[in-house]
Amino acid sequence: MSALEVDVVVAGGGAAGLFAAASAAARGRRVALLEKNERPGLKILISGGGRCNVTTTRSGKDLERQYGERRGRFLRHALHTLRPVDVIEHFQGLGVPLREEDLEKIFPVSQKARDVLDALLRDCRDRGAQLVTEAPVQSVRRTEDGFLVSTPRGAWRAESVVLATGGLSYPKTGATGDGYAFARAFGHTITGTVPALAPLSVQEPWVRELQGIVLHDVEIAALDAEGRVVNRRTRPILFTHKGLSGPAPMDLAGDIEERRGGLVRFDFAPSRTQEQLEAEWLEAARLHGKRQAASLLPASLPERVRTALCALAGCGDATLANLDRGARQRLLRVVKDLRVRCERSLGFDHAEVTRGGVSLDEVDPKTMESRLQKGLFLCGEILDVDGPIGGFNFQAAFGTGRLAGRNA
Ligand SMILES: Cc1cc2nc3c(=O)[nH]c(=O)nc-3n(C[C@H](O)[C@H](O)[C@H](O)COP(=O)(O)OP(=O)(O)OC[C@H]3O[C@@H](n4cnc5c(N)ncnc54)[C@H](O)[C@@H]3O)c2cc1C
């Protein structure tokens, strides 16, 4: 079978690939978008609990910082070329109005991820990009005048190839790391890959006993081996039968996995210093000696949590009048500095994103072209970029996809 001729092959029909294909086709390039699944964009459909948190309201340097210093610097151009406000305008133009919700997140007004995916597919089709499904790319080879891309459904010759095959997270959506092998074949380095944005596995009985409870206004932090804070979050925390889930714990997963486990520290009263708390507690003991020790803990904490914390401090039944200095210090430590060991997250099957991927030093951040192979472009999660929960990962996929499509 002879190979079909196009200008650009995009491998992978996820958020990055769909954006890249539409952007390249908009320049008049003949584009083939090859997707391994029967249906493209599965991850978009399940994102944000089926509602798709498309982007964020954060902007400028603040937005860049969310990805960490090195990754943020790499993304600077992509985030500037396609800012979150541009993403909002883009979808508005495609007939999908978006709106802001809690935690600076942007969702479709319809609350349907399906609308986001349909709009991206429509855009590709209207601009003339040809989508071929059930076409898993098996190899990408350099030829004299471009590339030869092979799939079981045939081969394509193209001047440029965009690798947008994603990472390793949620493999059932099609992201199984295929693109790493293609990139490696062109000399690219794949940095260590670990699950990120995943629930944390914690063995401590008190954590598991609190399953079903959600905490707000509590800080958790990942600590390094020396006890220094690597990352901290004050966002909702959900206790589960396996450990911890919800935005704050999930945001720490990449840092914990990178260090092959570590300590997670709870601060149940992040708006108070230890000294302030102690002064308040002494005053409370003077005024209300008959109250239980649990009454000292922030009123915003559910009763079950307050009871658990008092038990951990060994002052379960104590009243304020008979809470001695030792017990008070133990309770203070539990409230401000309770540490639990976490060896790992629940892994790639439950991770929203992959940390690690194609080394950023080997990709031009202005065009997403490989520095090692002319005509080869990379975008989305295949790259060593990841952001926290809150629309940052789609924002990065769309931005890098747009750059790749404009230059491929
Ligand atoms: C449960 C869940 C919820 C999420 N929610 C959000 C959210 O609300 N907001 C947010 O910003 N981010 C969210 N994310 C993260 C976000 O979905 C990803 O960061 C983003 O989809 C990455 O886009 P991508 O195009 O790079 O990769 P992917 O979306 O993984 O797409 C890669 C595509 O390539 C295809 N493919 C793989 N190998 C081949 C091959 N050999 N040949 C052809 N095709 C191939 C795959 O089938 C897939 O369609 C969520 C992720 C998960 C798993």
Instruction: Return mean pLDDT, the chain.
Output: 97
**What is the position in ligand 1's atom list of the atom closest to the CA of 15?**
25
Across the range 185-197, mean pLDDT stands at 98
Whether the CA torsion 89, 95, 100, 101 is positive or negative: it is negative
* pLDDT category of residue 379 using cuts at 50, 70 and 90: very high
Across the range 380-402, mean pLDDT stands at 98
Q: What is the DSSP string of 380-398?
A: GGGBS----TTTHHHHHHH
Atom 5 of ligand 1: nearest residue by CA position: 47
Q: Say how many Å lie between the CA of residue 171 and the centre of ligand 1.
A: 9
pLDDT of residue 1: 67
Across the range 235-258, mean pLDDT stands at 97
pLDDT for 26-37, tens place per residue?
A: 999 999 999 999
192 token code pair: 């260590």
Q: Say how many Å lie between the CA of residue 41 and the centre of ligand 1.
A: 7
pLDDT for 111-134, tens place per residue?
A: 999 999 999 999 999 999 999 999
Q: Say how many Å lie between the CA of residue 323 and the centre of ligand 1.
A: 53
pLDDT for 37-81, tens place per residue?
A: 999 999 999 999 999 999 999 999 999 999 999 999 999 999 999
Nearest to 370 by CA among 147, 175, 66: 147
SS3 assignment, position 219: strand
Across the range 152-173, mean pLDDT stands at 97
Task: Count the neighbouring beta carbons within 10 Å of the beta carbon of residue 274.
Answer: 15
Q: Say how many Å lie between the CA of residue 254 and the centre of ligand 1.
A: 17
Q: Say how many Å lie between the CA of residue 143 and the centre of ligand 1.
A: 29
pLDDT at 12 over 80: yes
**What is the position in ligand 1's atom list of the atom closest to the CA of 42?**
49
Q: Say how many Å lie between the CA of residue 288 and the centre of ligand 1.
A: 56
pLDDT for 314-361, tens place per residue?
A: 998 889 998 999 999 999 999 999 999 999 999 999 999 999 999 999
Cα separation, 382 vs 107, whole angstroms: 24
Cα separation, 148 vs 154, whole angstroms: 11
Q: Say whether pTM exceeds 0.75.
A: yes
Pocket around ligand 1 at a 6 A CB cut-off: 11-17, 34-37, 40, 42-43, 46-48, 52-53, 136-137, 164-166, 169-170, 173-175, 178, 352-353, 380-381, 391-394, 397
Task: Count the neighbouring beta carbons within 10 Å of the beta carbon of residue 276.
Answer: 11
SS3 assignment, position 137: coil
Tell me what percent of the residues of the chain surpass a pLDDT of 70.
100
Nearest to 15 by CA among 124, 103, 95: 124
